Amino acid sequence: MTYLAKPKLHHPDLPQNRLGYTRRDYEGTVSTLCAGCGHDSISAAIIQAFFELAIPPHRVAKLSGIGCSSKTPTYFLGQSHGFNSVHGRMPSVLTGASLANRELVYLGVSGDGDSASIGLGQFAHAMRRGVNMVYIVENNGVYGLTKGQFSATADRGSKSKRGAVNTDSPIDLVGLALQLGASFVARSFSGDKAQLVPLIKAAVEHRGAAFIDVVSPCVAFNNHPGSTKSYDYVRAHNEAVNRLDFMPRRDEVTADYPPGSVVDVVMHDGSVMHLHKLAADYDPTDRVRAMNYLAERAARGEVVTGLLYVDARAEDLHYHLGTVDAPLNSLGERELCPGAAALREFNAALR
């Protein structure tokens, strides 16, 4: 069931998207996070991406686990149903929601503790299954909400605010997602909205598991010298492999690019991603080489960002399960119940 969107009336000067929604229609309640928290910038990027894509807000379901990051779905898309589930288990809840109604856009928001510590298993298996979703990890290397303990993405040798040194080796969610079969893998930085917004847009249009690891500094507990997830550190070590322009198929391609510097990736629905190559030798359609590249750069302490891998022809979980086009939650007795006559036959075979 899709009903025509009826946006609220706003000040006539506010810019509107294709469906007549203004940016405000994509906002949520006022954030209660710390001033300067990276997560708020990601919320802003999500608002902009969905506004620009002109997705009716109520056709989005936003799900999260527990943490400062997982609180953010209240701060955007106020007209969407949201689900703040339990710590580390958003992927399974999202999987079930997606199975129930394949027509909505599923946005999962999580933290590094939520996805790499307590929820590593669910993160991994949702990627493996190719659940059609955008999965954003707001990665600050600490548990913000429980006041600054190291999370599993904290780099070995990085220092806590109190000076403790992390001796465990880090989990790289991007590397895992690549290995586990995610068909869209990106990394970005909350401080780089120009890079992040098109990545989110492309991830929404992608069919299958789209994962974006967004380094998102925690100003309260992990923004000091010695941290590898601070604003300063990430700015100094950010190595973008490409820049993305996302073109929904309805828009015309107008820009001129120097030859050889751009790769076009056509998505399953006909939309086009223009990738401006920043690292000449980086090919985001070659999974194995991408993994090697990332491993090499990580060893040098670089934070590689951009669209790291995409398989534009990937299939999703619904395809693998062979489910009908109609949302399963829209089926009724007629489609689901075999009825009394079939039951009599069933009984007869059991005597």
Binding range to ligand SF4, per CB under 6 A, among 57-65, 78-86, 117-125, 140-148: 140-148
Residue 143 within binding range of ligand TPP, rule CB under 6 A: yes
Residue 196 binding target from another protein, ligand TPP, ligand SF4, none, CB below 5 to 8 Å by type:
none
Residue 96 binding target from ligand TPP, ligand SF4, another protein, none, CB below 5 to 8 Å by type:
another protein
Nearer residue to ligand TPP within complex by CB, 30 or 336: 30
Residue 201 within binding range of ligand SF4, rule CB under 6 A: no
Within 5-44, which residues bind ligand SF4 (CB under 6 A)?
Answer: 33-34, 37, 39
Return the H-helix or E-strand segment holding 244: strand 242-247
Residue 220 binding target from Mg ion, another protein, ligand SF4, none, CB below 5 to 8 Å by type:
ligand SF4
Residue 138's φ and ψ, nearest 5 degrees, are: -90, 100
Counting residues that bind ligand TPP (by CB under 6 A) gives: 17
Residue 50 within binding range of ligand TPP, rule CB under 6 A: no
Residue 121's φ and ψ, nearest 5 degrees, are: -65, -45
The strand pair at 238-240 and 303-310 is best described as parallel
Q: Shortest gap between Cβ of 139 and ligand TPP (angstroms)?
A: 8
Residue 112 binding target from another protein, Mg ion, ligand SF4, none, CB below 5 to 8 Å by type:
Mg ion
In angstroms, the CA 39 to CA 140 distance is 9
Counting residues that bind ligand SF4 (by CB under 6 A) gives: 12
The amino acid sitting at 278 is L
In angstroms, the CA 349 to CA 191 distance is 66
Between the two ends of the chain, the Cα-to-Cα distance in Å is 44
* Helix, coil or strand: residue 273: strand
Q: What does the radius of gyration of the chain's CA atoms come to, in whole angstroms?
A: 21
How far CA 339 is from CA of 330, 349, 351, in Å, comes to 19, 16, 20
Residue 49 within binding range of ligand SF4, rule CB under 6 A: no
**Residues in contact with ligand TPP by the rule CB under 6 A:** 66-69, 87, 111-114, 138, 140, 142-146, 151
